[in-house]
Chains A and B, each alone.
Chain A
Amino acid sequence: MKIINRTNIGWLILIILTYVILEVLTFVGIIDPFYEITVVNIFINIILAVGLNLIVGFSGQLSLGHAGFMAIGAYATGILLSNIPSTGGFIISILMGMILAGLVALVVGIPTLRLKGDYFAIATLGASEIIRVAILNLPDLTNGAVGISGIPLIADWRFAYFAATLTILVVSNYIRSSPGRATISIREDEIAAESLSIQTTYYKNLAFLIGAVTAALAGSIHTSYFGVINPGQFTFNKSIDVLIIVVFGGIGSVTGSIVAAIALGIINVYLQQFGALRMIVYALVLILIMIFKPSGLMGNVEFSLSQLFKRPQDVPGSIENMEQEKGV
């Protein structure tokens, strides 16, 4: 199969089309500055949820510390960008955040992902709290509890869109590849995966690493779009918020995470006029999902262009047809 094929061209068109639609909506004024914040928030949540879904939904390891990695990216950008206020500085700060988050992920993951059971969840929870408390207690670097403000606003919604698209592409390419299948096999049955000579610890760490790095990217965008950060934004609650998106959309479905991030983002906007009632409605929606669709909006089904393009004469077993046959 060639790289330039129907499916890949289809995806490219879809990406460009979405961009053009957003650009037009902004130009016409339907997406005003207020809605633009919602749109960027949705993109940030997509990056966070897709990354966390790789850890929780595909490698099957419960991580409760996603906010910690986001904080690393956010503060890397916050500190560096205040000192080097340029696009170059922004790019460097993103890379720094990613590297730092990756290193922390390895430090947490290598010892704990060898163990089976809940240790990993506890360790990630602990790690994210350590990161937050460290930020609080390094006032020279991070300005402590007050946080950093007046950070140059370099990221716009276009950059957020680009980053979200890249994250989705990389993560979905990964899970539909051979190493990705190895990662999924760990979720399905770790003992069987090991007996098929799959290095389970390696792939669990890899999934965790990718998740952490994307969370740092989300943090960087958050910082440079809103210009204000403080440690209170990256508490355990933030990790749970992201986890809710993952569960809401379907554990083990990238499509689900995207749909849920968009749906919850929109629900949030319309609920803002109800004030305090907002949280109650929000909770009700979640409870209803749990009752009527316990596996999440999408279950573990993925949206697939190759499935739409499928023709009867396609050879069985070719990759185009592999993508979405879970429910056969």
Chain B
Amino acid sequence: MTLLKVENVTKNFGGLTAISHINLEINRNELIGLIGPNGAGKTTLFNLLTGVYKPSEGSISFKPQEESYELSGKNTSKIGQKGIARTFQNIRLFKDLTVLENVRIGMHTEQGANIFHSFFRTKEFYRTENEMTEKAMNLLKIFNMEDKAKYKASNLPYGDQRKLEIVRALGTNPKLLFLDEPAAGMNAKESNELTQLIQKIHDEFDLAIVLIEHDMKVIMNISERIYVLEYGKKIAEGTSQEIQKNEHVIRAYLGGD
């Protein structure tokens, strides 16, 4: 069943067409790889799908349940509320806050106490707050980070910061998760662990994942389907075996006439 349908989406920055007439479809619970040479427009596409940029043309429809929503033109927080979360290429944690606070902020919109209860610390406030803390700790436990709950986010090692960003995104209870180069800057061992982690999220949570990655080992190992972009255009799609043999893709990466 289709979860996200991108039709004919184009984005121009002045005279530059960063994304041109892209069509893609993501099904429920799928794990999609998105690859392409540097500057192909992968992150721009993520930014379009999460409302950071507004598409110049085209439509994006998202169908988390029965109802389908049009996302193009909506702002980021609205899109997030519908069930889309993301991580960033350059880590964007709330650095001065603790690990637990980072995760709880992700949970706020879904289950935070409202302002009245917060002002006067009613019973309801304590109930929601405890519930949220418990859920956040459970989520951290799944990723073996519960003993680091009180660390400042900026004091975590690099790999854990990447991991925390993913946990925080999962806290919003998304149906679709965009991961923007989660293995960037990791060594072979770390990226191996990350591959397993993504696989685990895919198995245990009810959500679809779209993954931008330059580490081909990660992509080829876990993606069920792969989209390839070059110069803002989609040049190929298919399973990892198909993509590895695709002439356009080989030419895009290695050059040739």
Q: Give A residues with C-beta under 8 Å from B.
A: 1-3, 8, 170, 173-174, 177-182, 184-185, 188-189, 191-200, 206, 300, 316-319, 321-322, 325-328
Contacts and interface: CB of A to CB of B under 8 A. Distances in A.
B115 A174 contact: yes
Interface residues of B, number: 58
A316 B149 contact: yes
A190 to B, nearest CB: 10
Q: List 4 A-B pairs, minimum CB-CB distance, nearest first.
A: A197-B80, A178-B112, A177-B118, A188-B94
Contacts of B77: 194, 197-200
Given A179-B115, A181-B105, A316-B150, A196 B172 contact: yes
Given A179-B108, A194-B76, A195-B86, A1 B126 contact: yes
Given A191-B92, A194-B80, 8 more contacts: A173-B120, A174-B119, A178-B112, A181-B97, A181-B108, A189-B93, A191-B52, A196-B80
26 contacts: A1-B130, A8-B121, A173-B118, A174-B119, A177-B117, A177-B125, A179-B108, A179-B112, A179-B113, A181-B97, A182-B105, A188-B96, A194-B77, A195-B80, A195-B85, A195-B92, A196-B80, A197-B76, A197-B77, A197-B109, A197-B110, A198-B105, A199-B109, A317-B137, A317-B149, A318-B133
A322 B3 CA distance: 38
B118 A174 contact: yes
Contact of B108 (A182, A325, A326, A328): A182
A301 to B, nearest CB: 11
B88 A192 contact: yes
Query: SS class of chain A's interface: helix, strand, loop or mixed?
Result: helix
Given A179-B108, A326-B152, A197 B96 contact: no
Interface in B102-138: 104-110, 112-115, 117-123, 125-126, 128-130, 132-134, 136-137
Query: SS class of chain B's interface: helix, strand, loop or mixed?
Result: helix
B126 A3 contact: yes
Contacts of A327: 152
A328 B169 contact: no
A268 B58 CA distance: 64
A325 B98 contact: yes
B101 interface: yes
Contacts of B92: 189, 191-192, 195
Contact of A326 (B93, B96, B122, B125): B96
B105 A185 contact: yes
B205 interface: no
A180 B113 CA distance: 10
Contacts of A197: 76-81, 85, 109-110, 172
Nearest to A8: B121
Contact of B109 (A3, A174, A196): A196
Contacts of B72: none
B1 to A, nearest CB: 23
B114 A179 contact: yes
B80 A326 contact: no
B162 interface: no
Contacts of B107: 178
Nearest to B79: A197
B123 A178 contact: no
A327 B96 CA distance: 9
Nearest to A175: B118
A1 B78 CA distance: 33
Given A195-B50, A196-B105, A197-B81, A300 B119 contact: no
